[in-house]
Structure 1
Amino acid sequence: PSVTTLNSRRFTNKLALLLYLVHKVAAIALVCFLIFKGIQGLIDGSNPAKRKEERFLKYLLPQVEAASLLSITLAFAWQKALREWPQIMVYFILWCTFFMSLSAGILLICFQKPATDGVGVCFIAFAIGNGLYACWVSQRVGFCYKVLLKSLEPVDKFRDLNQPAYWMLGAGFLWMSLWILAVVGALNFYYPALVIIALLLSLCWTTEVMRNVVNLTVSRVIALYYLRGMQSNTQFCFQRALTRNLGSACLGSLFVPAIEAMRIIARGLNLLEGEDEFMFSCAHCCLNVMQSIFRYGNGWAYVQIAAYGKGFVRASQDTWALFEREEMEPIVDSDMMSAICFLSGVCSGSICVIVVAAWTAKVHQPFTATISLLAFFIGYLMTRIAMALPHACVSCYYVCYAENPANRLFDKTIKERLELIKAGRDVVVPTPRVPRRFTR
């Protein structure tokens, strides 16, 4: 690509951008209206919902705000620790998440309420799966550490690279503060359950877009360093991510989490054993769909979106084509960084649950399950925003290597790994492919 391409001025994925902006305007209007309804309910002494709103403000708002502040602290603690001690932190995140989610589940079950029991069982089930995963990937931790260590080297050259994460977390904290007031106001409106679900979905999309704005900013700074040796201005890259590339962030925020979830399901189906033709037919169908979708939408695309201003789908296709050209699919398929970032978010959420659940059980136990779920989502979402920086660095390392393996900024880590895989001397866990029994 030419230098001109690196400075593309066109807006990417305009339809997705328009949809997100319409959604955001509607969400802001709804939040403002619900806050007004909440205030109206508090002022109107004859309103039967007044007492309920007062209880929520007294027993829910302080815990949620505390969870937000705690999650921001944990978010930067995870990021800083991962940058300083990558080898230790990979193991630590894997097993700390196991213990924290298990502890949160046990604590909730100890309250002996149906709601807390249900939430607690979910945490314990996740902890068991987390523990099995940690054992399963133990052979890949060494390579993950090497790539993480190498990919984080350019970060020290850009002192302000974390500023976009600061801005996004600050905006996230303010929005969540208004959001929780809107949730309280929804109690004084029609169909409160449906309204709260709509608010939650909007919050998830908004925070995911915030995370990907940070991802795009860091990706452009690091990618241009690898591809052109440029010392890019972080603020300019941040502005670009918030304007020209925002549509791709919005589109990717809708589809990448769903695609990753399908990837996990497909991997589970690939582990099925037996002769049940129906089950294998389902696995066959799912794996075929997975292969097609992953080529047209994947998280690696953000590097080319940031660097070249491509649309999300085209960037996904071009990036995967680069991996295929360099025969890197087994390596990127078994990359652990997305899992590490996900688990760090779960760990933060679990810590928030432990703190908030213990607090709420002392002051107003009936709210324990509700506040625990809110605290978990807040802790998870805020941590994912901060962890976008190391995730973007690793993505840039893989994608930029695939584009130019001869670049002097890359060592032999990936090359040696590929040689070991081809020689059958290394273990990888690839994205599921269609079993041979179906391709005969």
Structure 2
Amino acid sequence: MPIPTSNGHASRVQIQEPRTRSPLPPSSSPIAFKEQQGRPPPAAQQTIAGKLSRNLFKGILFSQLTLISLLVIVLTIRGLILASSHHFHPKKWYPPLLASVAVSGVASLAWQCIFIYNPPRAVKATFWLTPILTCSVGILLVLIGSAVDAGIGAVFVLFAITQSLYGCWITPRLEYTDKILSLSTAFPPARTREVVSLSILVSVVYSGFLVTGIGGATSTRTNLDLLFVSVILISLAWTMQVLKNVQQVAISRARYVNFAHGEDMDAWGAFRVTVKHLIGSICIGSTLVPIIVLIRGSIRSVNLMSGSSDEVMYSGADCFSTIANKLITYGNRCGFVHVGTYDKGFVEASSDTWKKLRSTVGLEKLIDSDLTSSLCFLSAVSVGAVSSLTAGIWVLLIHKDYALEVTLYAFIIGYFVGRVALAWIQACVLAYYVAYSEDPQSMRFDGTIPNRIQRLQLLSARRDNRELEVGRDRDDTDNC
């Protein structure tokens, strides 16, 4: 992932050249941030429960890695021994899937280059190319021929249509997305390339290792083996989430130091500190954030569907909104910035950062409408689709019976490798938001965020006026 010395949008970036030093909060010192080889500056006194929970989750991570490794080794050996008696063909099953894992790593690195050299084109390509690739996977599954394959293929096609509609809906927000990505990712911290490349390499090697265990379980296809495959996939998902967030904490720490204090921090040094001291908090965040995002997304969907004037429906939607707002306070991605910067527990970091973001008028709504998360998600789906097409076409040509399972495994693995690869982009954006919320008047920030907040407030006012006029028209009609 080459890092250029210049950027097409660098002329608009002022953050790397601080002209005035803004006042620092008492708990943060630029000198402490520059201690890259030591532990991050400790937060306030941590509770015993907090320390225990961090150590507990850290222990769970390494325990499950050990147990999964043993399970994979046993399944692989057993699968190779019993392959002939169960008519399993390792030479036809393993090469396509392992090749797709390697392709996912190459595709992730290629996606990096596109984002670095031309963020606007990368954003547009993501929102328009992902539906095409997803639809291609669906068509491939339909071509396999069976009813089950056709049904799953139809789901992929429907998912692709949904992505296309979403891409049309968010078109007005692309301009702001281009600007915030260009500002936050311009001149990334030194040695970011090494951190991202190592993360991708680890994710590819680990995924390839788990593939051998999945193959071993597939060779016998008993009900117990289906359970083993499910356990391996769950382990893959959580471990990849932890790996992604390790990178996110490290890069966001280095970027925050630059945005908030004008100091440079080596990304590799931040990465080593993160791995050594912050794994427990990262494991907690890696567990809470996906659950809270899923719950909050479901609540938002319920609120959209309950757009009725019925008082019971309205009160229910209002209750759901309150729950969603409470959940996001204690588990949001912005908390990873303070985890790396101040060595806080994840829940405390999430609460502190979200309160700070809310204290800036309009910033919470701006972050809710930000497309960075959607961009990273759809980019990972694209990587998964490329990986899936590689494995699926190969298997379809040599052994059709394995086509469905190999295609789906390749998609899942490619998706998670893509998420790991793009974690640094989301880390830069989060660090930018958190640093801005702590000192909006700093000369290191231009007018991108204030202008966007003003635009959102104007659009909201217009929407409220339209709803008020529609309500009046309904009242007049009822009176008649």
Is the TM-score greater than 0.5? yes
- Cα shift at 1:280: 5.3
Gaps of 5+ in 2: 1-26, 34-39, 464-480
Structure 1 unmatched runs, 5+: 429-440
Structure 1 residues 301 and 41: alpha-carbon distance in aligned structure 2, compared to 1, 3 A threshold:
closer
- What residue in structure 2 maps to residue 164 of structure 1? 195
Q: How does 1:89-108 map to 2 (within 5 A)?
A: 89-108=122-141
Q: CA deviation at 1:265?
A: 2.1
Instruction: Say whether the 8 Å CA contact 2:54–2:280 is kept in structure 1.
Output: yes
Q: Distance in 1 between matches of 2:331 and 2:268?
A: 27
Deviations 1:142-169 (A, max 9, x none): 11111111111231xx341121222222
Root-mean-square deviation (Å)? 2.4
Distance 2:316 2:139 in 1: 36
Written as runs of structure 1 = structure 2, the 5 A alignment for 1:191-340 is 191-272=224-305, 273-274=307-308, 283-327=317-361, 328-340=363-375
Match of 1:437 in 2: none
Residue 37 of structure 1 and its aligned partner are, at CA, apart by: 4.4
1:252-297 deviation per Cα after TM superposition (whole angstroms, max 9, x unaligned): 1112122222333233222223466776565444333211101111
Shift of 1:23: 4.2
The structural deviation recorded for 1:76 is 1.5
Question: How far off is 1:321 after superposition?
Answer: 1.1
The one-character-per-residue Cα deviations of 1:222-268 (angstroms, maximum 9, x if unpaired) are 11111222221222211111122211211111121222223332332
Residues 276 and 65 of structure 1: is their aligned pair in 2 closer, same or farther, counting only changes over 3 Å?
Answer: farther
Q: 2:77 aligns with which of 29, 39, 42?
A: 39
| Aligned-partner Cα distance in 2 for 1:321–1:270 | 24
Cα displacement (A) at 1:213: 0.8
Matched residues in 2 for 1:285 and 1:120: separation? 37
Offset at residue 427 of structure 1 (A)? 8.9
Tell me, in whole angstroms, the C-alpha distance in 2 between the residues paired with 1:52 and 1:13: 49
Distance in 2 (CA, whole Å) between partners of 1:337 and 1:362 is 38
Alpha-carbon spacing, 1:40–1:415, altered in 2? closer, same or farther (3 Å): closer
Select the residue among 9, 18, 28 that pairs with 1:2.
28
Equivalence for 1:147: 180
Alpha-carbon deviation of 1:14?
4.9
Point out the structure with max Rg over C-alpha: 2
Q: For residues 414-440 of structure 1, what are the alpha-carbon distances to aligned partners after superposition, in whole Å with 9 as ceiling and x for unaligned?
A: 112222333448999xxxxxxxxxxxx
Of the candidates 337, 343, 353, which is equivalent to residue 388 of structure 2? Answer: 353
Cα 1:427–1:371 change in 2 (3 A) is: farther
Specify whether residues 29 and 324 from structure 1 end up closer, same or farther in structure 2 by C-alpha distance, changes over 3 A only: closer
User: Which moved further from structure 2: 19-28 or 273-282?
Assistant: 273-282
CA offset at residue 54 of structure 1? 4.3
The AA in structure 2 aligned to 1:288 is T
- Superposed CA deviations along residues 204-223 of structure 1, whole A, max 9, x for unmatched, are 00011110111011111111
Structure 1 counterpart SS, 2:277 = coil
- 1:287-329: CA deviations, max 9, x gaps? 3321110111101111111111111111111111111111111
Relative distance call for 1:30 and 1:418 in structure 2 (3 A) is: closer
TM-score by length of 1: 0.89
Specify whether residues 104 and 184 from structure 1 end up closer, same or farther in structure 2 by C-alpha distance, changes over 3 A only: closer
Report the residue type matching 1:207 in the other structure: M
Structure 1 counterpart SS, 2:41? coil
| Mapped contact 1:226–1:409 kept (Cα < 8 A) | yes
Shift of 1:171: 1.6
* Kept in 2: contact 1:420–1:426 (CA 8 A): no
Alignment correspondent of 1:394: 429
Q: Is the contact between residue 119 and residue 369 of structure 1 (CA under 8 Å) also seen in structure 2?
A: no
Paired amino acid for 2:351: Q
Equivalent in 395, 399, 406 of residue 371 of structure 1: 406
1:71 counterpart = 2:104: yes
Aligned mates of 1:280, 1:99 — CA distance in 2: 38
Query: Does the C-alpha gap of structure 1 residues 9 and 274 become closer, same or farther in structure 2, counting only changes over 3 Å?
Result: closer
- Shift of residue 190, structure 1, vs aligned partner: 7.1
Distance 1:402 1:243 in 2: 29
